[in-house]
């Protein structure tokens, strides 16, 4: 062997030894610096599951983009909206005109968000009782069981407009799309104000007066609350009121409130009572009543 070959062998051995030392040092550093999870366990810090659930729900709230040019309306009302003869949805809702196309709502309320309500319940011994988006039912036939899925969708702009729709189909995706479509067709305008005797700020953070809604055995009463009270109501009703733009409310419920479908329907009926109740013009300034959007 020549001198150059011997030098190359020595250099390769030294490089291998250096690599082995580096690997050992990296392993020691990893042992000395534990992961964040182990640190949290040792220090007793617990992960907030509620925060994770809230973040996941916020991700589910989607703002659907709408392109007016690609829309070809099929009704006379839709043609009038596209030709910009009708520029505000109040012109339709105040006259009581029935909306037959969901894209009319998308065109007139651009900042619309959509979400699904937890109206169903999981089945099984260990997973039973957990709330789900879809409510599953089955029909017994000679051929076998035929399942169907029901879901409830909510649509709103957090500024005086909200809609709730039901969708039912043999599969989950068409049921969801049907619910979103019907929620847009069922959109309503509500009144907001400050009817609480504890507050009297004349701002639109609550409702101007108490309203009641009943469906089946479930009865819900919504009452005005002062600033900072929050939405003291069931979680799914909270999401409906948030979509409508209400921030503070007290509530009282009676009946089998575990049946979420009846509770959702009762809450929607109570919100409809805000517009159907007659109010004197003198009380509009006293209670700070505003119909529909503030902006």
Could you tell me which of 211, 286, 284, 198 has the C-alpha nearest to residue 244?
211
pLDDT digits (tens, 9 = 90+) for 173-194: 999 999 999 999 999 999 999 9
Query: Domain holding 200: CATH number?
Result: 3.30.230.10
**176 in the same domain as 118:** yes
Per the CB < 8 A criterion, the answer to whether 236 and 119 are in contact is yes
pLDDT band per the 50, 70, 90 thresholds, residue 66: confident
pLDDT band per the 50, 70, 90 thresholds, residue 109: very high
Please state which of the ranges 61-75, 84-98, 280-294 shows the lowest mean pLDDT.
Answer: 61-75
**200 in the same domain as 178:** no
In a domain, 68, yes or no: yes
For residue 217, the model assigns a pLDDT of: 95
In a domain, 41, yes or no: no
In a domain, 203, yes or no: yes
In a domain, 36, yes or no: no
pLDDT band per the 50, 70, 90 thresholds, residue 27: low
- Domain edge (last residue) among 161, 189, 217: 189
- Domain edge (last residue) among 189, 217, 243: 189
In a domain, 39, yes or no: no
How many CA atoms, within 13 angstroms, populate the side-chain half-sphere of residue 145?
5
Question: What's the average model confidence in pLDDT over 137-159?
Answer: 93
For residue 37, the model assigns a pLDDT of: 45
- Helix, strand, or coil here: 73? coil
**225 in the same domain as 212:** yes
- Domain edge (last residue) among 189, 206, 235: 189
pLDDT band per the 50, 70, 90 thresholds, residue 236: very high
DSSP labels, 204-250: SSB-SS-EEEEETTEEEEEEE--TT--EES-HHHHHHHHHHT---EE
For residue 121, the model assigns a pLDDT of: 82
Q: Is the pLDDT of residue 5 over 70?
A: no
In a domain, 233, yes or no: yes
What residues make up the domain containing 269? 191-291
Query: Domain holding 101: CATH number?
Result: 3.30.160.20
Q: Distances in Å between the alpha carbon of 249 and those of 64, 182, 217, 228, 252?
A: 28, 27, 22, 10, 10
**Total domain count, the chain:** 2
For residue 294, the model assigns a pLDDT of: 85
**153 in the same domain as 67:** yes
In a domain, 238, yes or no: yes
Per the CB < 8 A criterion, the answer to whether 81 and 103 are in contact is no
Extract the tokens encoding 164: 């709730």
For residue 246, the model assigns a pLDDT of: 95
């Amino acid at each position: 062997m020549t001198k150059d070959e011997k030098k190359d062998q020595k250099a390769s051995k030294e490089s291998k030894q250096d690599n082995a030392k580096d690997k050992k040092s990296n392993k020691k550093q990893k042992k000395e610096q534990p992961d964040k999870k182990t640190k949290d366990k040792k220090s007793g810090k617990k992960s907030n599951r509620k925060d994770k659930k809230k973040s996941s729900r916020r991700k589910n709230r989607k703002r659907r983009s709408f392109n007016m040019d690609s829309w070809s309306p099929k009704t006379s009302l839709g043609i009038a909206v596209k030709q910009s003869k009708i520029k505000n949805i109040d012109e339709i809702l105040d006259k009581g005109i029935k909306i037959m196309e969901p894209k009319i709502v998308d065109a007139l309320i651009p900042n619309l968000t959509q979400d699904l309500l937890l109206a169903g319940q999981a089945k099984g011994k260990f997973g039973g009782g957990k709330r789900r988006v879809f409510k599953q039912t089955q029909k017994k036939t000679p051929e076998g069981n035929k399942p169907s899925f029901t879901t409830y969708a909510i649509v709103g702009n957090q500024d005086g407009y909200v809609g709730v729709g039901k969708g039912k189909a043999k599969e989950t995706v068409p049921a969801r799309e049907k619910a979103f479509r019907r929620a847009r067709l069922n959109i309503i305008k509500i009144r907001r104000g400050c009817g609480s005797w504890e507050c009297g700020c004349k701002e639109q953070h609550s409702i101007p007066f108490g309203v009641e809604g009943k469906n089946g055995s479930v009865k819900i009463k919504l009452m005005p609350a002062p600033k900072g009270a929050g939405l003291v109501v069931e979680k799914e009703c909270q999401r409906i009121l948030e979509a409508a733009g209400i921030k503070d409310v007290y509530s009282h419920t009676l009946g089998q409130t575990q049946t979420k479908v009846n509770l959702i329907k009762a809450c929607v009926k109570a919100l409809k009572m805000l517009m159907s109740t007659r109010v004197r013009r003198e009380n509009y300034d006293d209670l700070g009543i505003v119909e529909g959007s503030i902006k």
